[in-house]
Structure 1
Amino acid sequence: MTVVGAADVDAAAARGVLQVGARDIVTPLARERAREAGVEIVVATPGAAAAVAGDRATPYPSSPVPASPVARPAPAAARVRVEAAPPPVRPPSGALFRRGAPLPPAVRPGGAGPARGTTGRVVVVGAGNVGTITGMRLAEADVFAEVVLVDIDEGRAAGVALDLTHTAALCGFATRVRGAGTVEAAGPADYVVITAGKARQPGMSRSDLTSTNAAIVGDVAARVAVTSPHAVVVVVTNPLDEMTQHAWRASGFPPERVLGMAGVLDTARFQALAALDGSVRADRVEAWALGSHGEEMVIPLSRASADGRPLGPGVDAVVDRARGSGAEVVGLLRSGSAFLAPGTSAARMVLAMAADSGEVMPAAVLADGTYGIRDVYVGLPARLGRGGVREIVELDLLPDELSALHEAAERIRERVGRPAGDAA
């Protein structure tokens, strides 16, 4: 079995035909490229068709995925026919894992058109450390035509963007990176990541930042609603649960298009800490960080494992350290807060949505009654698609884990000043 990517389609463009095996997997980007280039995909074995990754995606049940303001009509589907005895298909591009299904195209400034094999624009608001890492990961993924860093210090945004541009040959990407001083100057976006705000200092809690960062996030969200009315917004600014709910209110967007990053970060921290003893790789630890991005973080140990086995003794200490990991980093840095893992986590969410992967990730989402919680932003497992949250996924939790999740939702509700409503 071979994974057939966009580069394979490009190589076959002169012939107009790309022959694949019956068991080969044709990626969504390859199929889209074939449509655009008029390349016919030919399956070798009679009666069989090559599998196409991503065909099982389903729309968010409560509202349709909005059309991009820069969307174009979809071309006719690439034809697939059957033929015997194909020549060998060369191995797919080594960068294939970085590419997902295409987004509606965004035209690059100056009329140059989108970068080869990439479409769409991401705006990262805040060119500090977290925004820089987010922009870097998104550019390196080589998925988008453009990544724009926005900062009130326009010179910093432009300088970071130029510095990232200088890494294009080193990292092998064609994504354009530029800086801007305002959301309006950045232009319409498919995805907006809000990292702007004051960072924690030693001795500060995330909630200490509420009033200062609420003014910043609210203003940014309102501007995004005007410039990018169809965008998906990912909030990174602390206190994250409260700021995500604030961004949702300020933007007026449907809740599936406003989500917070924390769960991906907190899960990654737990996985890394659980692997410190060397008994397992961090990426072989399965876990979910739910609830609040803070003291009410809930890591259901009934759902945690390492290489398929229950975690060993000392796991409670790992949970406690994961809850305090942000403060631990702040204390060690002495100035500023964590940025490598937060920026990477935000980019990871955007890339999953851009690929329309249907991947389930823990995120701060508006609870819809699942888990007996409603009308408050709280960390829950969410299935992500191109238009944001497709659905909230319900895990089978133990009674004490579910109770802890309810408690986290109530504490967040108190902080955002909403009545208890329908929460259980």
Structure 2
Amino acid sequence: MRNGISRVALIGTGFVGSSYAFALLNQGVTEELVLIDLNKEKSEGDAMDLNHGIAFAPTPTKVWYGDYQDCDKADLVVICAGANQKPGETRLDLVEKNTKIFKSIVDQVMANGFDGIFLVATNPVDILTYATWKFSGLPKERVIGSGTILDTARFRYLLGDYFQIDARNVHAYIIGEHGDTELPVWSQADIGGKKILDLMAEKEEYQEEDLENLFVNVRDAAYHIIERKGATYYGIAMGLVRLTKAILRNENSILTVSAYLDGEYGSDDIYIGVPAIVNRNGIREIVEIELNDKEKDQFKHSVEVLTNIKDKFF
């Protein structure tokens, strides 16, 4: 970080990218924010619009539209560019289109001397994070995907709503693919230190089928939102800001990101959503939580699905 000045380069100012920039400015996370997009007029307009709100921001932030040359001094490059998921499409349907786009993006970033951390948000995020790692040549710790951070947030929100508890006091993870094969870690989920499965046994109104329906709503949330408004962007934007804070402020926070497995959870050579300690150097380490036999099988299946897709392209 240059003399304490942090710079975030955002590539892609569509729904997710512009929402991230807005949330980033409102939370005063970085000193500099450069917006990069093929549509330069759009990124210029976003920069103007954001700058007009600087007087209301918690801290001053320099915001401008730029190009890949501005990545040379960036601490963090956040990639939100790519083709969007259309109604009826799965995240994995986007692989071929977005892998080609990412090759061009990452090559240009690296050609301009970037030596920071990549944060990938574009879907399918696990495959595209792997692609970014391959294309960039950076250490695996410095290439991070948004993974299941949003799925975990949705999970905590719905559990909090069900048990009438502040979602911030719910401790539960969604791991695996950010997509149809993701899984809830029920065995380790707790509220205030008390296992959720134990809470279920205490009151008759708590039903096991409610939990299954709750998870289905988490897993399929994006489909429901896309049907209603065309895209999801507010939730993931806030998740990206949370990750940005963890990185720039060296927090050592545990977040469910798409991280490279090298033997953890019995898997290797794949990026997938798992709890990991995130700080100024990227991923410090992966947290291996204990899974029961069913969860182990589900996670293995998720790894296999992603590996089969990944092996077609790399």
TM-score by length of 1: 0.68
* Correspondence for 2:275: 381
* Correspondence for 2:63: 177
Pairing partner for 1:345 from 239, 254, 258: 239
* Correspondence for 1:229: 114
Pairing partner for 1:255 from 136, 140, 152: 140
The CA deviation at 1:228 is 4.2
* Correspondence for 1:332: 228
Whether the aligned pair in 2 keeps the contact of 1:195 and 1:235 (CA below 8 Å) is: yes
Pairing partner for 1:322 from 218, 222, 225: 218
Whether the aligned pair in 1 keeps the contact of 2:29 and 2:244 (CA below 8 Å) is: no
Q: Amino acid of the residue matched to residue 246 of structure 1? A: A
The CA deviation at 1:277 is 3.8
The CA deviation at 1:119 is 1.4
* Correspondence for 1:396: 290
Whether the aligned pair in 2 keeps the contact of 1:262 and 1:363 (CA below 8 Å) is: yes
* Correspondence for 1:11: none
Whether the aligned pair in 2 keeps the contact of 1:189 and 1:228 (CA below 8 Å) is: no
Pairing partner for 2:2 from 104, 107, 110: 104
Report matched runs for 1:131-146 at 5 Å.
Answer: 131-146=17-32
The CA deviation at 1:373 is 0.8
The CA deviation at 1:187 is 4.5
Whether the aligned pair in 2 keeps the contact of 1:382 and 1:391 (CA below 8 Å) is: yes
**How far apart are the structure 1 equivalents of 2:42 and 2:34?**
12
After superposition, the C-alpha distances for 1:35-66 in whole angstroms (9 at most, x for unaligned) are xxxxxxxxxxxxxxxxxxxxxxxxxxxxxxxx
Tell whether 2:177 aligns with 1:292. yes
The CA deviation at 1:318 is 1.1
Structure 1 gaps of 5+ residues are 1-102, 106-117, 420-424
After superposition, the C-alpha distances for 1:365-408 in whole angstroms (9 at most, x for unaligned) are 11010111111111111111101111111112212212211111
After superposition, the C-alpha distances for 1:125-148 in whole angstroms (9 at most, x for unaligned) are 001111112112222332422011
* Correspondence for 1:274: 159
Pairing partner for 1:212 from 97, 100, 113: 97
Pairing partner for 1:157 from 33, 43, 48: 43
SS in 2 for 1:412: helix
After superposition, the C-alpha distances for 1:339-370 in whole angstroms (9 at most, x for unaligned) are 00111111211110111111111111110101
* Correspondence for 2:204: none
SS in 1 for 2:85: coil
The CA deviation at 1:301 is 0.4
Identity of aligned residues (%): 29
After superposition, the C-alpha distances for 1:87-139 in whole angstroms (9 at most, x for unaligned) are xxxxxxxxxxxxxxxx433xxxxxxxxxxxx6110001001111112112222
Cα–Cα, structure 1 residues 263 and 228, in superposed 2: closer, same or farther, change >3 Å? farther
* Correspondence for 1:12: none
Higher helix share: 2
Query: After the TM superposition, which parts of structure 1 deviate over 6 Å for at least 4 consecutive aligned residues?
Result: none
The CA deviation at 1:310 is 3.5
* Correspondence for 1:410: 304
SS in 2 for 1:295: coil
Q: Amino acid of the residue matched to residue 248 of structure 1? A: W
After superposition, the C-alpha distances for 1:303-351 in whole angstroms (9 at most, x for unaligned) are 1123333334311111111111111110111x3x100011111121111
Q: CA RMSD in A?
A: 1.7
Whether the aligned pair in 2 keeps the contact of 1:119 and 1:143 (CA below 8 Å) is: no
* Correspondence for 2:203: none
**How far apart are the structure 1 equivalents of 2:301 and 2:71?**
40
After superposition, the C-alpha distances for 1:262-291 in whole angstroms (9 at most, x for unaligned) are 221110011112233461112121111111
* Correspondence for 1:34: none
Whether the aligned pair in 2 keeps the contact of 1:148 and 1:177 (CA below 8 Å) is: yes
* Correspondence for 2:189: 304
Q: Amino acid of the residue matched to residue 276 of structure 2? A: A
Pairing partner for 2:53 from 164, 167, 182: 167
**How far apart are the structure 1 equivalents of 2:212 and 2:190?**
13
Whether the aligned pair in 1 keeps the contact of 2:25 and 2:61 (CA below 8 Å) is: yes
**How far apart are the structure 1 equivalents of 2:130 and 2:288?**
21
After superposition, the C-alpha distances for 1:129-178 in whole angstroms (9 at most, x for unaligned) are 11112112222332422011111011110111111111112222201111
Greater relative CO, 1 or 2 (CA 8 Å, sep 6+): 2
Whether the aligned pair in 2 keeps the contact of 1:138 and 1:351 (CA below 8 Å) is: no
Q: Amino acid of the residue matched to residue 302 of structure 1? A: S
**How far apart are the structure 1 equivalents of 2:228 and 2:192?**
31
Tell whether 2:17 aligns with 1:123. no
Cα–Cα, structure 1 residues 186 and 388, in superposed 2: closer, same or farther, change >3 Å? closer
Report matched runs for 1:25-174 at 5 Å.
Answer: 103-105=1-3, 119-174=5-60
**How far apart are the structure 1 equivalents of 2:80 and 2:143?**
14
Tell whether 2:85 aligns with 1:203. no
Structure 2 gaps of 5+ residues are 201-206
Count of matched residue pairs: 302
Q: Amino acid of the residue matched to residue 377 of structure 1? A: Y
The CA deviation at 1:219 is 1.3
TM-score by length of 2: 0.91
Whether the aligned pair in 2 keeps the contact of 1:242 and 1:412 (CA below 8 Å) is: yes
Cα–Cα, structure 1 residues 345 and 211, in superposed 2: closer, same or farther, change >3 Å? same
